[in-house]
Each structure stands twice: as structure tokens, then as C-alpha cells.
Amino acid sequence: MNLHLLNDITKSSGGKQTLQKYQLIKHLFNMGPSSVSSLCDTMNMSTPSILKLITGLTDEDWVEKKGYGMSMGGRKPDLYGLKDKKILIICIDIELFHTKIAIIDNNYNFIFEPKTVALPISKSRSDFFNILNTHLQDILQSQNITNDQLIGCSVGMPGLIDAKKGENYSYFLSDVENISLTAAFENMLKLPVVIQNDVNGSSMAEFTHGMAKGKQNALILLMDWGVGLGIIMDGKLRQGACGFSGELGHIPFVENGALCYCGKHGCLETIASGNALSEMAKEGILSGKNSMLNDLSNEELERIEPAVIIKAANKGDQYAIQLLSNIGTYMGKGIAVLIQLFNPELIILSGKIAEAKQYITLPMQQAINTYCMTQIRDKTTIASSELGENSRLLGYATTGIDHFLDNYIKKAKK
């Protein structure tokens, strides 16, 4: 669909060499700066062959020396890595009430500070796309970036998402025009697009940049407006048969509980999500609870951001602290089930609610102690993510660039 700069490699190389160069670029993207010997092992090629590829990509301004590696004795090996800004990808993080846009390069540099726009997720594609495209074009023009500099676009969002079919079965369901959601994005952007669930973005970020790096069995709990679960088992991110794994938030936890938007009653999301926290805070304030949250305007009260409640808790507001404690208790019961199902070595808490830290982790641990077998829970470490508010964008960049490089490799094999 677009002629990315990677196509220039085809013009300067033969068929087999083009394939090998694409494979080397993919390995350097995934592994980071690497020595010749490690590349020989990874690609199953001889030292002269790897050196020839590195020399070619260096001459084409794709690869450069990145310092020296570790040595057990003797000369330290040279490390080679991709130069900055050789691959650029648009990353779009669609939340319930906002959309965040970034452009990230192959070395995970943000080309500009990610832009957050007041664009909520929608049932309608056309309305959402019209607004999104206006912001995207403004960004590309302001950064002087053209489509031929972009390898594609990686989009993450909540909902039941089948990435292979390119469909979201929870949102963007109207005016579909008999084409997939991925195809609709591609028609708008004139770029190849990959879509994924937001929790998979968080999980990939932790797996490649965060606490789950190098772990074989870990769970990533996305505690945002909704509740999602990323599953790393045997060193791989597991997404299930259709990409629907990890729908922890829609498992019923309360008998005859509140109606969830999924159609069931008493789902975990109705008692332990950002949406639940916001609703409970609003109901309490309207019923006369004593809290500094009473100072909020009617508009602010209608949809209280979790950050506002956490800020109040940090100032000693007892009502805000109690709200967060309730969330932690409910979530702890859910985590106890996860520990006994998966026996993970690590559970990472991420998302807006995780920023409450001790206000949720202490009641969460108490619930885990109550509901989980001692022999299993003692093998699990629970920690809050350290990657920050833009972590999902890093995960989207990893998934997207890796996917599009695979497409180049497949094309070169034909």
C-alpha cells in the first residue's frame, strides 16, 4: 500500500540477500544491539555471511556500531544496532474517553510528546475516523513526516478483538460497509494497519521493556476503566484461539450483582474497575458522603477520573481511601483465582487504578492471603508497573513493527 524506505533494500540487493537483510533488521529490532557471534547463532549463518550483511546495511545507513559487549576475557566484541528513525510507526491508543497518538521509531524513541485528544471510543466508525484523521494529518504535517517514511500503524483499544480477522466485536460496529475494522483504518490512513487489545499492548510492553522481561510465567493485570489480563506462559504471550484470552473483567464475581455492559450481572468490572470506582464515588457524593470530592463541579462529578480519587486519597481523604480499598479487596479475590490457575512467578499491576499503589495493594494482599493457598501464593511476586503512562504505546510499537517486518520477510521469500 505504501512504499516504505525498506523497499530501497530490495533495489540494492538480490533476492536472497534482501531476505537476509530483512531478517537481520528484524533480529536487531527484537534483540537490540548485538554482537556478530550472537547474530550467527540466532540466524544460523557463518561469521563472513553476517559481516557481509552488516557491511551492506551499514553502507545503506541502516546499521551502526553501538559500543562493546561483555567479555569473559580478551577483546570485547563490537555491538551493532539499527540507527534511529529508520523505521517509524504510528501508534494509536484508544481509550473509553480519550485517544492518544504517537509516532515511535525502531529504537523506541518518541518523535514527539504523545498527543491526547478528547476522542472517545465509538460505535460509529465514520464519526470517529473523521475526527481522528484530522488530528493525524495535523501531526504528520507539523512533524514533516510523509507516508513513505512510515512502515504502518498499530492501533490498540478495549474490546473483544480478533487481530487476524481485523475485527473488534465490542466497538465500531455501525456503518461497517462490509469491510473489517483493520481495512477501514487502512482505507483512511493509506497505510498497513494492525489492531490489538489494549491489555496485549500493556503485556508486550512489560515483556520487552518492563518487569516481565526474561520471565517465563507472568501475568499483567490492566486495571483501567475496565479490567484485562495479559498471560505470559512458557516465555510467550498467550492470546488464545481468537485473541480473546484474558477477559477477567467479565467473569461474574457477585451473585445478583449490577448489570455489566457485556450483558451479564455481577462481573468483576462492575466492582473493581475504573468505571466502577467512578460510579461508586459519584453515588457516595450525591448521597452526602463527607469528602473533598464534594468540591467537584457537576460536570466533573459525572465522570470522575481515577486520578482525581487517588489524589484525594493521597491528601488523606478517608472516603477516597475507602473506595480504593474496596477496589483492592475485590481485585485481590480475583487475583487469588489467577494465582491458583496459572501459578505465575510475577503479577504486574498496570493502568490508572494501579497508580493508587498502597491504597489498593494492601487490601489486595489481605484478600489474596484469605482466598489463596499459602503454598502457591508464596511463589508469586506482585508489583506495580514502572513503565509509566505511555507504556501501551511501546507495546503497540513492538507488535506493529514486528508484524510489518514479518510481512516484508514473507514477500521476500516469494
- Given a cut of 90, is residue 47 above it in pLDDT? yes
Q: Please, is 10 exposed, middle or buried when counting C-beta atoms within 10 Å of its C-beta (0-12, 13-18, 19+)? A: middle
- Tens digits of residue pLDDT in 288-315: 899 999 888 888 888 889 999 999 999 9
Question: What is the C-alpha separation between 88 and 393, in angstroms, rounded?
Answer: 13
For residue 227, the SS3 value is strand
pLDDT tens column, 369-389: 999 999 999 999 999 999 988
Residue 1 predicted with pLDDT over 60:
no
pLDDT for 143 equals 95
Domains of the chain: 7-82 (1.10.10.10), 88-201+392-413 (3.30.420.40), 214-386 (3.30.420.40)
Sorting pLDDT into bands at 50, 70 and 90, what band is 105?
A: very high
pLDDT exceeds 70 at position 3: no
Which pLDDT tens digit goes with each residue over 188-225? 999 999 999 999 999 999 999 999 999 999 999 999 99
**pLDDT for 301:** 83
Tell me the average pLDDT across 146-159. 95
pTM across the whole model: 0.92
CA 222 to CA 219: how far, in whole Å?
10
Give me the pLDDT at residue 2, please.
56
179/309 Cα distance (integer angstroms)? 41
pLDDT at 10: 63
Residue 401 has pLDDT above 60, yes or no: yes
Per-residue pLDDT averaged across 116-136, rounded? 93
- Residue 178 predicted with pLDDT over 90: no
Of 65-79, 301-315, 399-413, which range is least confident? 65-79
Q: Which residue has the cell 525502531?
A: 106
Considering the chain, what is the average pLDDT of its residues? 92
Task: Give the residue with greater pLDDT, 6 vs 3.
Answer: 6
**Distance of alpha carbon 36 from alpha carbon 47, whole angstroms:** 7
C-alpha cell belonging to residue 19: 531476505
